[in-house]
Amino acid sequence: MRKFLCIAAIAGMFAVSACNTVEGVGEDVSSAGDAVSGAADGAK
């Protein structure tokens, strides 16, 4: 569990540092939604 939290914290830092603007956050959320949607379609 501790290893997972450490990895999640590091991933969170990278995600926050990548989103410098509101537009960047919107693009990141959109691309994450597209990835989830594609995975869901692939699982059908």
User: What pLDDT does residue 10 have?
Assistant: 78
User: Cα separation of 7 and 1, whole Å?
Assistant: 10
- pLDDT tops 70 at residue 23: no
19: left (phi over 0), alpha (psi -120 to 50) or beta: beta
Cα-only R_g, the chain: 13
Question: Tens of pLDDT along 7-17?
Answer: 888 787 777 66
User: What pLDDT does residue 17 have?
Assistant: 67
Q: Would you say 35 and 29 are in contact if contact means Cβ atoms under 8 Å apart?
A: no
21: left (phi over 0), alpha (psi -120 to 50) or beta: beta
- Its pTM stands at 0.43
Residue type, 33: G
